[in-house]
């Protein structure tokens, strides 16, 4: 099995690579020791059982487990990262308060199952490229006509001039 430093070197560009490397190694150890190296047995079964198994590994939380299950098992879910939180709240798709599960459930109530993977990727891209945390680029955004945040900030700007 690779040591943590080897894993860190390979994933360094992903950010938070030191923590992620330890988690990757922990998952690999779990798969080797308990599942004889069979990854599919480790993430197999129902969504809930696979998610619970993943989350028992040190460093794997709900988002990471959901990302694995979205891309490896094609479960029709929407993992919620910082970009998904920000964009979905600004647009008004999800409640302004509430944690991971509240935002995930609100998005999954609004977005049809077959479109959830696309929506997840699109929300992340929008959050990274246009709807950034500081200084969102409204002039580039295709969603300003739907966006609660844009409506509130443009009204504020119009009222102060």
| Residues 56, 88 within the same domain | no
pLDDT digits (tens, 9 = 90+) for 88-113: 999 999 999 999 999 999 999 999 99
Residue 119 has pLDDT above 50, yes or no: yes
Q: What is the band of 159 on the pLDDT scale with cuts at 50, 70, 90?
A: low
Q: What is the band of 158 on the pLDDT scale with cuts at 50, 70, 90?
A: low
Instruction: Give me the number of domains the chain comprises.
Output: 2
Containing structural domain, residue 34:
4-73
In three-state form (DSSP H/G/I as H, E/B as E, the rest C), the secondary structure along the chain is CCCHHHHHHHHHHHCCHHHHHHHHHHHHHHHHHHHCCCHHHHCCCCHHHHHHHHHCCCCCCHHHHHHHHHHHHCCCCCCCCHHHHHHHHHHCCCCCCCCHHHHHHHHHHHCCHHHHHHHHHHHHHHHHHCCCCCCCCHHHCCCCCCCHHHHHHHHHHHHHC
| Residues 49, 17 within the same domain | yes
Average pLDDT on 39-62 reads 93
- Please identify, among 73, 100, 116, the residue that sits at the C-terminal boundary of a domain: 73
Q: What is the pLDDT of residue 161?
A: 45
| Residues 94, 59 within the same domain | no
Q: What is the pLDDT of residue 143?
A: 94
- Is the separation of the CB atoms in 102 and 93 below 8 Å? no
Give the chain's radius of gyration (CA, Å). Answer: 19
């Amino acid at each position: 099995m690779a040591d943590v430093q080897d894993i860190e070197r390979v994933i360094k560009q992903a950010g938070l690579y030191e923590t992620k490397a330890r988690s990757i190694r922990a998952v690999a150890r779990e798969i080797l020791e308990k599942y004889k190296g069979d990854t599919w047995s480790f993430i197999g079964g129902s969504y809930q059982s696979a998610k619970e198994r993943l989350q028992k590994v040190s460093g794997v939380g709900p988002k990471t487990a959901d990302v694995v299950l979205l891309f490896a098992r094609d479960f029709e879910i929407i993992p919620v990262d910082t970009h998904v939180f920000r964009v979905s709240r600004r647009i008004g798709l999800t409640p302004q308060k509430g944690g991971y599960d509240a935002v995930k459930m609100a998005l999954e109530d609004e977005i049809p199952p077959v479109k959830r993977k696309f929506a997840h990727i699109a929300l992340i891209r929008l959050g990274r490229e246009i709807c950034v945390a500081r200084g969102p680029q409204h002039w580039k955004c295709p969603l300003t006509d739907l966006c609660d945040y844009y409506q509130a900030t443009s009204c504020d700007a119009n009222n102060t001039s």
